[in-house]
Amino acid sequence: MKRRDFLKGVTLLAAGGALAGPMAGAAEIISSPSAAGPAPDDKGIEPIKGLTPIRPLDPEVSRPISVIIIGCGNRGRTYAGFAKKFPAGMKVVGVSDILEHRTKYLGDQHNVTAEMRFGHFREVFASGKKLADAVVIATPDDRHYEPCMKALELGYDVLLEKPVAPTKKECENIRDMVKKTGRVVALCHVLRYAPYFMALREVVKSGAIGDVINVQHMEPIQYAHMAHSYVRGNWRREDETTPIILAKSCHDLDILRWIIDKPCKYIDAAGSLSFFREENAPKDAPKYCTDGCPHQKECPYDAVEIYTHLKQHTGVFDLQGNKDPDFILSRLKDPRYNSYARCVFHCDNDQPDHYVAIMGFEDGITASFSMDAFAPKGGRRTRIMGTMGYIEGDSKSFTVTDFLTRTPKLWNHEVAEIGEYANSGHGGGDYRLVRDWLEAVDRHDPDHLSSSIDVAFESHMMGFAAERSRRTGKKEKIK
Ligand SMILES: NC(=O)c1ccc[n+]([C@@H]2O[C@H](COP(=O)([O-])OP(=O)(O)OC[C@H]3O[C@@H](n4cnc5c(N)ncnc54)[C@H](O)[C@@H]3O)[C@@H](O)[C@H]2O)c1
């Protein structure tokens, strides 16, 4: 759509009139306070109107798709939750985890039969037979490759957690196997399915800000989230998972590639682990926060405060609903969970706590990216500079300013307003991804997916190039 057409659509809607021309038929989805026409939002900014409607999450499938959940941790449970909400679309018929209490918890929730409760993922494939329509692979990063290859070989469709795999070779092998088998595989680049990012991209694609020239994108991790996942937790070491640019930020590289919609040519990256290091430990800080640290009151990374009082990131403790502070504290002292009680300066972590990258895309478009541990809250921030306008957003709302009218317009569609999207993580992206994947499986149509392996492959190559650049200090081509 041409920029003028988009603006025309916006103007007509702002006057409360009927749509004509290229925007005809596009239902209103955004902040529509009254049928008489849009009223200004709280900040007095007119809402943007006329984007593609957001469909309900209920999948349009001919039958419930039967699924085995491999990896019953945080993500496995999230995806399984879709089946509880939309039983006509998905049925969990099998569970697999090396931790028996996790298969029991999820298996019981979904009435999974005893013979369909597996330990190691190899048990799922041991019979050599296909036991369900599809598998969800939500194991740790370094355990995606083997179950994914095996599942494809046996004819399963796959919902694969990101990142695809830790090495370029493994990513290539999975991509080739998907081509060879023709199976439907969705990578969990969930932001592509979040209403906010979908609207952002649609506005850019409409031409409303002219040609994109440069993008600034920031991912503030939030200081306690950094401590939890990348200092104490499962993603603290590159060799055991993937470099943080993939483990955390493959979403961001993917979103940049998706919004700019042109191939990335080169990347120049820098970053290191500056703060969470042994030599920065305060004097007399014990190995565990639960061992009476004298610095507890002045340390924002104190595990007792983060988990028992603030109750952040408690999903790893298998609390099963019991969030009593004393129970959480007992978990922190329990040898099965006490890695999360470690002092942030006494861990075996090596992931960078700050990471910046400059990217060059086709047609001279540039982008800069910054991933930061030291921020009070998460929520990606994005600024998009176009020849005729400018977009600025914070993952919840964005404004579009047209240089001719100089009047900003606002996209501010609280996820809570879109029914079931409210309870789905990543701004509604988690469940919307599952819905699209189930529909793609039902129709045997990989093109129904926005996050196919082919497109994921490209952003992963950007991540591998970023790591090469960070280590060598040289600008790296994407190859
Ligand atoms: N798409 C996203 O936005 C997003 C967000 C967070 C995590 N992730 C990714 O999802 C994956 C899972 O993350 P998580 O937070 O759920 O981790 P988790 O640790 O909570 O869950 C992983 C589960 O896999 C199990 N497991 C390990 N080895 C296994 C094996 N051989 N067979 C069967 N089960 C095994 C573990 O016991 C654990 O229960 C990771 O790759 C992570 O990077 C994606």
| Range in 1-10, 28-37, 47-56 the model is least confident about | 28-37
Centre of ligand 1 from the C-alpha of residue 72, in Å: 7
Residue 318 confidence (pLDDT) above 80 = yes
DSSP string, 284-347: T--SBGGGT-TTGGG-TT-HIIIIIIS--SGGGG--TT---HHHHHHHHHSTTTGGGGB-TTSS
pLDDT tens for each residue of 256-291: 999 999 999 999 999 999 999 999 999 999 999 999
Which range is least confidently modeled, 143-147, 232-236, 402-406, 407-411?
407-411
- Per-residue pLDDT, averaged over 208-220, amounts to 97
**10 Å Cβ neighbour count for 135?**
29
State pTM to two decimals: 0.89
Residue 76 CA to ligand 1 centre (angstroms): 7
Q: Which of 216, 157, 214 has the alpha carbon at shortest distance from 182? A: 157
Q: Which of 161, 226, 229, 460 to mutate to test the pocket of ligand 1 (most atoms within 8 A of CB)?
A: 161
Residue to substitute in 98, 139, 426 for testing ligand 1 pocket (most ligand atoms within 8 angstroms of CB): 139
Please compute the mean of the pLDDT values over residues 116-131 and round it to a whole number: 98
* H or E segment to which residue 201 belongs: helix 195-206
Q: Tell me what percent of the residues of the chain surpass a pLDDT of 90.
A: 81
CB 189 within 8 A of CB 451: yes
Of 316, 344, 139, 352, nearest in space to 237 by CA: 352
Atom of ligand 1 nearest to the CA of 426: 3
C-alpha 140 to ligand 1 mean position (Å): 4
| 433 vs 439: CA distance, rounded Å | 10
pLDDT digits (tens, 9 = 90+) for 403-448: 999 988 888 765 445 667 766 788 889 999 999 999 999 999 999 9
pLDDT value at 77 more than 80: yes
* Token representation of residue 329: 């504290």
Residue 124 beta carbon below 6 angstroms from any ligand 1 atom: no
How far apart (Å, rounded) are the C-alpha atoms in residues 359 and 214?
10
Nearest CA to ligand 1 atom 40: 140
Cis peptide before 352 (omega within 30 of 0): no
Q: Residue 423: what pLDDT?
A: 66
- What is the separation of C-alpha 303 from the centre of its chain, rounded to a whole number of angstroms? 25
- List helix spans (H) across 413-452: 429-443
What was the pLDDT predicted at 320?
85
| Mean pLDDT, residues 230-242 taken together | 95
Residue 69 alpha carbon to ligand 1 centre in Å: 11
Dist CA 232 CA 423 (whole Å): 28
| Mean pLDDT, residues 93-122 | 98
CA 425 to ligand 1: nearest atom:
3
Per-residue pLDDT band for 28 (boundaries 50, 70, 90) equals very low
CA of residue 432 to ligand 1 center, whole Å: 20
Specify the pLDDT at position 428.
Answer: 85
Question: Terminus-to-terminus CA distance in the chain, angstroms?
Answer: 32
Q: Evaluate if residue 385 carries a pLDDT over 80.
A: yes
**With bands split at pLDDT 50, 70 and 90, how would you rate the model's confidence at 42?**
low
Indicate if ligand 1 lies below 6 Å from the C-beta of 141: yes
Token output for 454: 């082919």
Single-letter amino acid, residue 241 = T
Core vs surface per residue 356-386: b (16+ CB within 10 A) or e: bbbbbbeeebebbbbbbbebeeeebbbebbb
Q: What is the pLDDT of residue 51?
A: 86
Give one DSSP letter per residue of 368-401, joined into a string. EEEEES--SS---EEEEEESSEEEEE-SS-EEEE
Q: Is the pLDDT of residue 39 over 50?
A: no
For residue 47, the model assigns a pLDDT of: 83
Measured between alpha carbons, how far is 205 from 28 in angstroms, rounded to an integer? 18
Whether residue 77 has its Cβ less than 6 Å from ligand 1: no
Ligand 1 geometric centre to CA of 209 (Å): 39
pLDDT at 116 over 80: yes
The amino acid occupying position 371 is M
**Strand order across the beta sheet in which 46-47 lies:** 46-47, 408-411, 398-402, 389-393, 381-386, 212-220, 366-372, 354-361, 264-272, 476-477
Confidence of residue 351 (pLDDT cuts 50, 70, 90): very high
Does 215 or 49 have the greater pLDDT score?
Answer: 215
pLDDT at 17: 29
**DSSP state letter for 345:** T
What is the pLDDT, as a whole number, of residue 174? Answer: 97
- The angle subtended at Cα 386 by Cα 381 and Cα 391, nearest 5°, is 35
- Distance of CA 234 from the midpoint of ligand 1 (Å): 9
Q: Which residue has the higher pLDDT, 297 or 9?
A: 297
Classify the C-alpha dihedral 373-375-376-380 as positive or negative.
negative
Instruction: Look over the chain and give the mean of its residue pLDDT values, rounded to a whole number.
Output: 89
CA distance 466 to 216: 16
